[in-house]
Chains A and B, each alone.
Chain A
Amino acid sequence: MLTLVLFMVSAVVQRRRRDAFPVRAIPAYDALPLMVGAAIEADRPTHLSLGSAGLGDSSTLLALASAELFYHVGQRAAIGATGPIMTMSDPTAIPLGYDTLRRAYGVRGRLNRYRASDIRWYPAGVRSLTFAAALTVTMGVDEVGANVLVGSFGPELALVADAAYRRDQTLIAASDQLEGQAIAYALADQPLIGEEIFAAGAYLSTEAGQRAGLVTQDVLRWLLIVTLLGTALLTALGGR
């Protein structure tokens, strides 16, 4: 309920004053348009991957957040001669992938360029190394220019990141799994960390609702910090 109230208030304030809540720079989001632009210039596709994130389980909202990011990337990549490719290992993410790319092409008025075969399912399951192997083949065969791997990945992300490095492809990566996140931090050109995955809409669009979500997240974070510190302090004082 608190989240809902904070979100509504932030949205109203943001609609009245566009610059009410300035945001800090996130290097990955700053680099994203340049990466996609470079891929378009080189006539190479941008590869987007959800990993094992899907709908109907605990990764549902992560899949939706990743789809929001891919929508913005897809929108930029859709103007190129070679369209973006989206991969996933959870079958429930396939309809989400179709919808995301179709809308990205639609908003650019290039729906005739949309190809259903650019959404690719590799049936491998969670943390599967064969999924990583399939991605490395796709990255080579389709001569990918830039990779945005944001979703649910485990240690297998290292194989994909290594393949991207060897083929001189740029990589933005993030995962909700700690192992995948650590590898993304070490091996990606630009990593996204933790909740930054969910901030894509606020950084890549000017919508008030997206920015309001980010502000709500920040306020909740500060409340959590104060609560944790307060509890620790009270416990320390009570223990004396």
Chain B
Amino acid sequence: MYGRLTRIPATVIAIGAGLFTLFGLLAGDNLGLFSTLAEIGRIRESTDYLLQLVVISVAVTVVIGILNLLWVHLTRIRYRRAGWGYSIVLVFSTLTVLILTILERASVLNQNPPLTTILLEQVQVSIESALAGLLLFALVYGAARVLRHRVSAWGLLFVLSLVIVLAGALPLGITLLADLRDLWLSVPVSAGARGILMGIALATVVAGVRVLVGQDRSYRE
């Protein structure tokens, strides 16, 4: 009963705010009665205010994220769960970067370039670069696995596309390969990609309507 009582106002507020914002964002300047109503009701200003609230809420979620990160890994360390050694490194790194950032913002540390920037460039960027190198091997291995495990017409078409695109990109000076690659990318590959994106767009529209009419699960349970 309590759950139902709290759920109804929450649903009304969510749907109301959604429809109101949608109306505010759609209300243009030369839409006759539609624009007049938006002007009288100061709907556009209210919509901007609601959007600012969203931005603030998003900023707060970063704090929730840091608390989540520390909570998960401190719990792991406390109960000596598998991988607690990694967790010690993670908690130490997080706290170090947090403290350094606070000290830099408070002008206690005035090093140029800042220590946090050095850490980002020397640690994060290096690790990401190394992983990017590994990515190539994972992709090639994956393509080989398609041929071993999924020998279907679609699997073969996938690998054929890959071979055409890669062969066409080689600097061999064979015009036919480069032309075939361009044709392949501009017609079947482009059509397939657009088809997938259109499908996602249509599904997104339907999902949006479901949310606006209160059919989403979070409203009902």
Chain A positions near chain B (C-beta within 8 angstroms): 3-4, 7-8, 55-56, 61-62, 64-65, 68, 71, 91-92, 94-95, 99, 103, 106-107, 116-117, 119-123, 128-130, 132-133, 137, 140-143, 155-156, 158-159, 161-162, 165, 176, 178, 181, 183, 185-187, 193-195, 197-199, 201, 209, 213, 216-217, 220-221, 224
Chain A residues touching B, majority SS: helix
Q: How far is the CB of B98 from chain A (nearest CB, A)?
A: 12
Chain B positions near chain A (C-beta within 8 angstroms): 54-55, 57-58, 61-62, 64-66, 68-69, 71-72, 75-76, 82-83, 86, 124, 127-128, 131-132, 134-135, 138-139, 141-143, 145-146, 158, 193, 195-200, 202-211, 213, 215-218, 221
A116 to B58, CA, bound (A): 20
Contact (Cβ within 8 A) B124 A130: yes
Contacts of B71 in A (CB 8 A): 116-117
Contacts of B145 in A (CB 8 A): 165, 186-187
Nearest to A4 among chain B residues (CB) is B209
Cross-interface CB contact of A194 among B61, B75, B199, cutoff 8 Å: B199
Nearest to A155 among chain B residues (CB) is B135
Nearest to A214 among chain B residues (CB) is B206
Contact (Cβ within 8 A) A64 B135: no
A215 to B158, CA, bound (A): 29
Contacts of A159 in B (CB 8 A): 131, 134-135, 138
A162 to B131, CA, bound (A): 13
Contact (Cβ within 8 A) B68 A130: no
Additional A-B contact list (4), CB under 8 Å, known A121-B65, A220-B206:
A129-B131, A161-B142, A201-B217, A213-B207
Contacts of B218 in A (CB 8 A): 64, 99
Contact (Cβ within 8 A) A132 B146: no
Q: How far is the CB of B72 from chain A (nearest CB, A)?
A: 5
Cross-interface CB contact of A183 among B75, B132, B139, cutoff 8 Å: B139
Nearest to B204 among chain A residues (CB) is A61
Q: Contacts A92-B58, A103-B217, A123-B65 known; A64 to B207 CB distance under 8 Å?
A: yes
A155 to B128, CA, bound (A): 13
Cross-interface CB contact of B203 among A65, A106, A121, A224, cutoff 8 Å: A65
Q: Contacts A117-B71, A141-B83, A209-B215 known; A56 to B202 CB distance under 8 Å?
A: no
A209 to B131, CA, bound (A): 43
Q: How far is the CB of B216 from chain A (nearest CB, A)?
A: 6
Nearest to B154 among chain A residues (CB) is A185
A-B contact pairs, 20 of them (CB 8 A): A3-B209, A4-B209, A8-B213, A62-B204, A94-B61, A95-B64, A99-B218, A116-B68, A133-B127, A133-B131, A156-B131, A158-B135, A159-B138, A178-B196, A187-B145, A195-B202, A197-B200, A198-B204, A213-B210, A220-B205
Contact (Cβ within 8 A) B61 A3: no
A67 to B82, CA, bound (A): 27
Q: How far is the CB of B68 from chain A (nearest CB, A)?
A: 5
Contacts of A123 in B (CB 8 A): 65-66, 69
A217 to B203, CA, bound (A): 6
A46 to B61, CA, bound (A): 25
Q: How far is the CB of B48 from chain A (nearest CB, A)?
A: 15
